[in-house]
């Protein structure tokens, strides 16, 4: 049975402790509920794939508390900086090239040399991320065959076969649809989401 915690300071501290100890947990973002774990730890990232029933061929996005921290792990060009200034924190995932020496698990990337990064516009998520010495994986908190979750109860129900998960309940997601994904290696939008594509195309073209 899952433990659902209120997203107050005590709940956030408890989830941070669980994550630091190498476990995984469900947390809210503005788009959807996410399944989080230490993105630097291969064994934790492997748990994420198993929990979701997700093929290893589908890369995982990674959440940071601020865009400044992205520079530690990924190569950031001018277009990325412009997009970050305009849309982040917010419902945008940017695919960037892995920096040599990055600590992000290669399991997040499959066979590619890229990672999709997010800075969620959700205070609970940011407060949680600030307490951690690593970024979090951030795939949607649901079985791969099921709809994405916009409430803690939906996320818990979708992943009910995974025992002992902790769920941080931050209420209903304010946006409630997937983030827009832009590939800044190929300069194209690969998933239309919460941000209108024309707002991004004007920057990456």
- Summarize pLDDT for 146-187 with one digit per residue, the tens: 999 999 999 999 999 988 899 999 999 999 999 999 999 999
Both structure tokens of 73 = 């792990």
pTM of the complete model beyond 0.85: yes
Nearest-CA neighbor of 104 among 189, 185, 39, 164?
39
* pLDDT value at residue 172: 98
Read off the DSSP letter of residue 146: S
Q: Where are the beta strands (DSSP E) in the chain?
A: 3-6, 25-28, 33-36, 62-63, 74-75, 92-98, 114-118, 136-137, 166-169, 180-183, 188-191
| pLDDT tens profile 50-82 | 999 999 999 999 999 999 999 999 999 999 999
82-137 pLDDT, tens digit each: 999 999 999 999 999 999 999 999 999 999 999 999 999 999 999 999 999 999 99
142-145: long-range contacts at Cβ-Cβ below 8 A with a sequence spacing of 24 or more? 142/33, 142/52, 143/52, 143/53, 144/52, 144/53, 144/54, 144/55, 144/58, 145/53
pLDDT at residue number 1 = 76
Which of 168, 201, 198 is closest to 8 using CA atoms? 168
39-52, pLDDT tens digit by residue?
999 999 999 999 99
Query: CATH number of the domain at 3-177, please?
Result: 3.90.870.10
| Alpha helix segments (H runs only) across 21-77 | 42-52
């Amino acid at each position: 049975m899952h433990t659902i915690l209120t997203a107050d300071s005590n709940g956030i501290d408890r989830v941070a402790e669980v994550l630091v100890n190498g476990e995984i947990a469900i947390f809210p973002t503005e788009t959807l509920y996410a399944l989080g774990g230490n993105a630097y730890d291969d064994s934790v990232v492997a748990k994420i794939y198993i929990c979701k029933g997700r093929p290893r061929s589908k890369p995982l996005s990674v959440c940071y508390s601020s865009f400044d921290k992205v520079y530690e792990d990924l190569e950031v060009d001018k277009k990325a900086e412009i997009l970050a200034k305009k849309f982040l924190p917010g419902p945008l995932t940017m695919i960037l090239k892995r920096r040599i020496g990055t600590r992000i698990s290669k399991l997040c990337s499959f066979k590619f040399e890229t990672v999709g990064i997010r800075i969620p516009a959700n205070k609970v998520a940011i407060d949680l991320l600030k307490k951690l010495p690593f970024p979090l994986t951030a795939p949607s908190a649901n079985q791969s065959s099921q709809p994405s979750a916009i409430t803690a109860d939906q996320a818990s129900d979708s992943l009910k076969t995974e025992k002992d998960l902790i769920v941080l309940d931050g209420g209903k997601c304010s946006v409630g649809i997937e983030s827009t994904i832009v590939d800044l290696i190929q300069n194209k939008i690969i998933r239309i989401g919460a941000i209108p594509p024309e707002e991004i195309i004007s920057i990456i073209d």
